[in-house]
Amino acid sequence: MNSTQDLVEVDFGGTTVDVPRGGYYDRYRSNPNLDEIAQDPAAGNIDWFRRIPKVLVDSRVGPIWAPNFYYRAGIVQVLMLAPLDRVRAALPEPLEPLSPIPGQALVALTFFSYSVCDNDPYDEVSVAVVVRRPGARGPHALELAESMRRRSYYAHVLALPVNTEIARARGVNGYQLPKWKTDISLAIDDTVTAQLDGPTGPDVTLQTPTPGLQKVPSQSRFSTNTMLHLVDGQWHQTSVQTNVLEFASQTLPGELTITRHGGPVSQLLDGLGASKVLRLDVTKDAQLVLNLPRPLTAFDK
């Protein structure tokens, strides 16, 4: 998207947005021909997506093809401790922070770079609180251990800035997620470098040596993250399935630098008291499937 000549206006749920002319959304409107996608070298092996049928479903922005496919993505996540009382105050009831350490909760700062996807390339940053699974009972530490074993987590997202207008419109109008548009960058080479901008300059920057990466066969390592959020005043759950292809993890990373420059996400992290980094996860290559929100009945009285 180097100039306005590279863009075309499209309608998304009554909102006019600019997308790359001839890009995936311009051509397919989120219902791609996978045989054509398979011919795109940038997409890589897409066999997993052939197992997941797209369905035209009603949504709060009208009929939409779902789920949404992300054929190639990079992800960098930092898991931090934060005081339980501060985190609890930031969550709507009846959500409960997962607290495996007495008095402490878990806050995840995550940078995403989607280089090939149904609604064209974009980057995203998430600040989310890890929460208890709806209806869960028993010790928090055991629940976390089970979540780690299954690679399945629940979270409530507090901020989700993106860097394209269609990504903002989809998230706000379709999912009622806290999205806004700003500049974001993520690069995973020998070093991980990431930057989220605020209104007047850098907001949060991250730099770390990239841990030793491991490649795994497609469909051999899955994870599922489920967002719990309100849609039109009712609780919903939105699941994201990830097919990990190349990754690394590091506990208590010593050479990781996160700098907060005072923008809105910096202020959010400061307000939560997010501090000590427990874990760094670097996913250099992955595929994702984003489902539409589904009603969550576990909180019904």
Predicted local distance difference test score (pLDDT) of residue 2 = 45
Predicted local distance difference test score (pLDDT) of residue 30 = 95
Predicted local distance difference test score (pLDDT) of residue 14 = 83
List pLDDT tens digits, range 1-42. 444 559 999 998 888 999 999 999 999 999 999 999 999 999
Cis peptide bond N-terminal to 94, omega within 30:
yes
Handedness of CA 287, 70, 294, 173 (dihedral sign): positive
Query: Which residues in the chain come in under a pLDDT of 50?
Result: 1-3
The span from the CA of 292 to the CA of 63, in Å, is 12
Predicted local distance difference test score (pLDDT) of residue 301 = 62
Strand partners, 235: 230
Predicted local distance difference test score (pLDDT) of residue 1 = 46
What value does the CA radius of gyration of the chain take, rounded to a whole number of Å? 19
Q: Are strands 214-215 and 64-66 parallel, antiparallel or unpaired?
A: unpaired
If one counts every other C-beta atom within 10 angstroms of the C-beta of residue 6, the result is 13
Q: Which of 62, 3, 180, 39 is nearest to 116 (CA)?
A: 39
Predicted local distance difference test score (pLDDT) of residue 13 = 81
The span from the CA of 86 to the CA of 240, in Å, is 27
Q: Which of 230, 242, 243 is nearest to 293 (CA)?
A: 230
Global pTM exceeds 0.95: yes
CATH 2.40.400.10 holds for 69-295: yes
Predicted local distance difference test score (pLDDT) of residue 257 = 98
